[in-house]
């Protein structure tokens, strides 16, 4: 009887310890938390799925290099850039709001870190599609889902050089599409497109070149097959409050 109670005690302690560790780490794989609020500066966040989870649309080798080399480098360089500055303990959203004062290292690496966290989260398989509320907002802003898809895809295709395309909820609570160069994003004071990001796509060549070479439009078309609409819907609900 004592041995059984001892085993139960050990099991309970293990469960409590794991729960506490998970809470402290704040993993980005928890889709119930806001991406910006959950942006850890102490631990590189885990990829929400396996490298091959988005096959055949995004290949495993691209995912591995993109996440473990490019994204990890942005995280490490961002943490190094803010160390010892006023931005070290500043919420990332506030840093972005005055990024024009922060310097290129913080701007480029901070953007690269945040943009990729969102990008991983808004991808996945098996998601049903835009919610009733988001669909209505898309129809109001663009006329139809097909027109929205065309507008978003065009923004991604026509972004010269490296950068991102975005769907955002503007400060006026309407949906808008646009693009930003390099690692800028719509939360930054330097961006002509302002708003809360709802959906984004990375159009840097490292996001697609191994599989699609210079055929960016093919990558963009494939992207529509791996959008995690459950997460996009959640981001919209949070932003519209």
Residue 241 confidence (pLDDT) above 60: yes
- Encode pLDDT of 211-231 as tens digits: 999 999 999 999 999 999 999
Strands 196-202, 163-169: pairing kind: antiparallel
* CA gap 189, 126 in Å, rounded: 35
Q: Is the model more confident about 23 or about 73?
A: 73
Query: Is CATH 3.55.40.20 what the domain over 132-240 is classified as, yes or no?
Result: yes
**How does residue 136 score in pLDDT terms, banded at 50, 70 and 90?**
very high
Both ends of the chain: CA-CA distance in Å? 54
Contact by Cβ (8 Å): 45, 28 = yes
Q: Which residue is it, tokens 């519209």?
A: 240
Instruction: State the average pLDDT over residues 174-184.
Output: 98
Share of the chain above pLDDT 70, in %: 85
pLDDT tens for 21-36 read 333 333 333 333 446 7
Q: Decide whether 60-121 matches 132-240 in CATH topology.
A: no
How far apart are alpha carbons 133 and 237 in whole angstroms?
A: 8
Contacts of 44 (CB under 8 A, 6+ apart): 72, 75, 76
CATH number of 60-121: 1.10.287.990
Whether residue 235 is predicted with pLDDT greater than 50 in this model: the reply is: yes
Q: What is the structure's pLDDT at 35? A: 62
Q: How confident is the model at residue 127 (pLDDT cuts 50, 70, 90)?
A: confident
pLDDT above 70 (res 20): no
On the question of pLDDT at 15 being above 90, the answer is no
Torsion of CA 38, 41, 43, 48, to 10 degrees: 40
Parse the chain into domains and list their residue ranges. Answer: 60-121, 132-240
The predicted pLDDT at position 17 comes to 39
């Amino acid at each position: 009887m004592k041995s059984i109670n001892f085993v139960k005690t050990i099991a309970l302690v293990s469960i409590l310890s794991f729960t506490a560790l998970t809470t402290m780490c704040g993993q980005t794989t928890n889709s119930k938390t806001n991406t910006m609020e959950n942006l850890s500066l102490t631990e590189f966040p885990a990829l929400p799925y396996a490298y091959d989870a988005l096959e055949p649309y995004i290949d495993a080798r691209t995912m591995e290099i993109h996440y473990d080399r490019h994204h990890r480098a942005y995280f490490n360089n961002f943490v190094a850039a803010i160390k010892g500055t006023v931005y070290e303990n500043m919420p990332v959203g506030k840093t972005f709001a005055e990024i024009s004062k922060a310097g290129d290292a913080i701007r480029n690496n901070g953007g690269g870190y945040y943009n990729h966290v969102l990008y991983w989260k808004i991808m996945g398989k098996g998601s049903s599609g835009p919610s009733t509320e988001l669909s209505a907002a898309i129809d109001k802003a663009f006329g139809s889902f097909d027109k929205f898809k065309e507008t978003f895809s065009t923004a991604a295709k026509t972004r010269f050089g490296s950068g991102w395309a975005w769907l955002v909820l503007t400060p006026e609570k309407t949906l808008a599409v646009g693009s930003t160069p390099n690692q800028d994003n719509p939360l930054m004071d330097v961006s002509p497109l302002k708003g809360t990001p709802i959906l984004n796509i990375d159009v840097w060549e490292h996001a697609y070149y191994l599989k699609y070479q210079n055929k960016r439009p093919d990558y963009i078309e494939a992207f529509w097959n791996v959008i995690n609409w459950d997460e996009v819907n959640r981001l919209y609900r949070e932003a519209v409050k």
